[in-house]
Structure formats: C-alpha cells, structure tokens
Amino acid sequence: MPIDVQWAVPERVEGLEALLEALLEAVCEACFSLEGVENCGMAVRIASPDEVRELNRTMRSIDSETDVLSFPTARFRPGTTARDNLKRLKREYDPFLGYVNLGDCVISLPRAKEQAEAYGHSLERELGYLCAHSALHLMGYDHMNPGDRARMRDMEERALRLASLSRTEDFPMTDQMLFDLACEAMLRAYAPYSKFQVGACLLTRDGRTFQGCNIENASYGATICAERAAISNALTAGANHFVAVAIAGSGAQSWPCGICRQVLNEFSDDMRVICGQYGHDFEVVKLAELLPRAFGPEQLKGGSDGE
C-alpha cells in the first residue's frame, strides 16, 4: 500500500524515522481495510508548527496552529464515505502513481509530542491516532455532529487496535474486532484460481489472536483453507484451545467447509463462529450448530471400551 512519508522538520526523534513509515503504513492499512477500499494511498508530512499554521491560513483561512490537517483529492457524495463510492474511486486511479491518491495528511510534530505527554501515552500512539484521523477525513468521514463524531471515533480506535497502538492492552476482544482481523488477513490471501479470498482469525482462551488466509495451489487438492492456516499459526505458537473464530469472504459469506469444521472441533466443540462478507455485517453461531453430533476427542476416550 503506497504511503509517502515526508519528514519536513529539522529536529529528530531517535529511532523514529526508522519505524515511522512502517507505523503509519500499518495505521493507514487498517483504516483502508476497515473501510473496504483497495489500491489506495496517501501522503503523510511531518511538519513544523509554522508550516502547519501557514497551510491552515492559506488553505482554510484559519490563522492558527493545529495538530493535523487533511487535504483530500477524492470527492464523495455528501453524507457518504469511500465505501459508498467504490466506482468513483476507480475513476480516481492515477496510472502514473499506480494507485488512487486519497490526498495529504500534515501533522505537527511538536503538537503531537505535547498531546502525547498530556494524554499519557507514547508519541507513536499519538502520531498513529492523528494519521488515522486524517485518513478517515480523506475517505469522507467528519465530526461536525455527535453521530458522525461517534462513528469516526469508533473507526479511529478500531484502526489503532488493528495496528497494535491501543492506549492500553486491556480492551476486550469484541466480535467486530475479531472480524476486522479476519478481513485484514483476507487481503493477504493467495487465490489466483478461484479469485475468492478468505481470511480467518482465531481467539484463544488466553486472549491471543492468530490470523490465516486461504492459500491456493495449481494442484487444487493442495489448497489450504484460511481456518486451517490460522490453526497452524496458533499451534506453532503453543495455543491449542480456541473460544472463537471469525471468517471473512471476499465475495460472499464463507462458512467453514466440512474439513475445517472437523479440525476446529478438535480444539473446541463450543467455540463461537463469526462469519460474514468483507465490507458487510456478520452472523454468529456456535460450532456445534455447524457440526451437530460431531465426532471428536471425547469419542476416543476409553479406547476399546464396549468392544
């Protein structure tokens, strides 16, 4: 995903330049993923207070400093956001850049430092928040009334959680958050044959999450489903008891196939299954509803009893 990070201040923060681009790219990727847009990019300029104030005065006729400014290049219908204007976004494609340029974000580094200290969190988190705030503005979000403000704030926090920049790590994992992680994994699927991408995310009993995506193969039988890819990742990390799984399909809901239902049952027969289509709502059922009267480890206990 193209993110053009520009450093336009004389001062330096030790180690920040090295991680800044990856940090801001993760935040932007989370915002774009939550919105359901692809092949989009933006510019992020880390600027001085004087530059921000001059831009604010010149472009908005407001002669004051602020923490972040957003200058969108894509225009959407009033009351809509990027997800409602996918055809219009395609028309904004820039063949020279190779992606849709959503616009520019300009962040005042000194103001970000001040706010990070005032709020008691890291500078990285504050920069991530300001970048998410701007990215959402570039996609048509606003905060002029309480309803729009709440909607935008929710998207900001969800993006920061996906980018591992939450203010604290004690947020409970919600169905929506788990589904968002499945959607994120879906975008990394390897599906050149079916063109049907699937992502999955498992939630373990100890609160960890593990993602997986479908990996197709020219020998179709060698294809790996997203659910089993996630299970492999979890088992490799020593996790073997799951309480929920979220699954996202690119073109439709993607309920687990029979083999995946059986493999999931091996590690929890009562896990919650959250399933939906990318960019749409999801449904929640228990695994036992998808695999009634299942055969699992319990049936093998006792070996030859009854023989």
Active-site residue numbers?
227
What are the angstrom distances between the C-alpha of 77 and each of 71, 82, 93, 137, 139? 16, 9, 18, 14, 11
Using the CB atoms, write b or e for 265-289: b if 16+ within 10 Å: bebbeebbbbbbbbeeebeeeebee
What is the distance between the alpha carbons of residues 133 and 119, in angstroms, rounded to a whole number?
16
Let me know how many helices (H) and strands (E) the chain has, helices first.
11, 10
Instruction: Give the CA count within 13 Å in the CB-facing half-sphere of 262.
Output: 4
Lookup result for tokens 């059922």 = 285
Q: Which three-class secondary structure state does DSSP give residue 49?
A: helix
What tokens does 66 get? Answer: 């602020």
Radius of gyration of the chain (CA): 22
Closest CA to 102 of 196, 2, 222: 2
